[in-house]
């Protein structure tokens, strides 16, 4: 038996960016600090700043000092003055520089459709185990390079049902006629 799954009425939304093939996502902000310290070992610096700044010691300098960098891991990210105060008070750091990085990714993709919509959650019967299931419980997945479609959540068999989804044009025609009545 083939089941027909309708588009949910009231779920149709027009996309403002319909046709766009690139999207930009803000991934977050990070702060990287560079500084110099004297009179402390690598271990001392890491211990003192533990939990707030993850430190990388990258170069020793004359006079018992070292150049270091670190990533601020304290959340939420403290403002620059707080980071500078922490480095000066805890490890007597000098020549402090803070780089703020805002991670933005641009992704290319197929064109964004004109509309977004949802399908009704429809009750169906699994062909294999004969249990009633809802269409939102059915999954499709890869299993050892084999694509498995319409997997039953009860018996884990593929192709547990045959589904036909309503096409957008048919939905628009159907709802246009309903609105005329």
Q: In terms of pTM, does the model score above 0.85?
A: no
Residues 6+ apart with CB under 8 A from 116: 11, 12, 13, 15
Clarify whether residues 32 and 10 are in a common domain: no
- Count up the domains in the chain and report the number: 2
Which residue bears the tokens 């004359």? 62
- Let me know if residue 110 belongs to a domain: no
Clarify whether residues 46 and 119 are in a common domain: no
pLDDT at position 12, please? 93
pLDDT at position 60, please? 65
Three-state secondary structure readout of 90-111? HHCCEEEEEEEEEEEEEEECCC
Clarify whether residues 11 and 32 are in a common domain: no
- Across the range 116-131, mean pLDDT stands at 95
Radius of gyration of the chain (CA): 29
Tell me the pLDDT tens digit for each residue of 74-98. 777 788 888 888 888 877 888 888 8
pLDDT at position 43, please? 61
**Closest alpha carbon to 32 in 83, 95, 104:** 83
Quote the mean pLDDT of the chain.
85
Domain boundary among 73, 105, 137: 105
Domain boundary among 72, 105, 138: 105
Domain that includes residue 53, residue range: 24-105
């Amino acid at each position: 038996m083939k089941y027909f799954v309708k588009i949910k009425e009231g779920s149709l939304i027009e996309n403002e960016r319909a046709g766009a093939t690139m999207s930009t996502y803000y991934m977050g902000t990070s702060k990287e600090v560079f500084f110099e310290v004297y009179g402390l070992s690598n271990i001392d610096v890491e211990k003192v700043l533990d939990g707030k700044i993850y430190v990388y010691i990258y170069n020793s300098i004359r006079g018992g000092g070292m150049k270091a960098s670190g990533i601020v891991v304290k959340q939420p990210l403290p403002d620059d003055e707080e980071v500078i105060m922490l480095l000066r008070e805890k490890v007597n750091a000098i020549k402090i520089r803070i780089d703020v990085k805002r991670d933005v990714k641009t992704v290319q993709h197929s064109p964004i459709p004109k509309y977004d919509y949802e399908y009704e959650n429809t009750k169906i019967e699994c062909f294999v185990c004969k249990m009633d299931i809802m269409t939102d419980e059915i999954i499709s997945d890869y299993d050892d390079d084999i694509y498995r479609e319409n997997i039953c959540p009860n018996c884990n068999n593929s192709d547990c049902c045959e589904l036909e989804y309503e096409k957008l044009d048919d939905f628009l025609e159907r709802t246009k006629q309903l609105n005329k009545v």
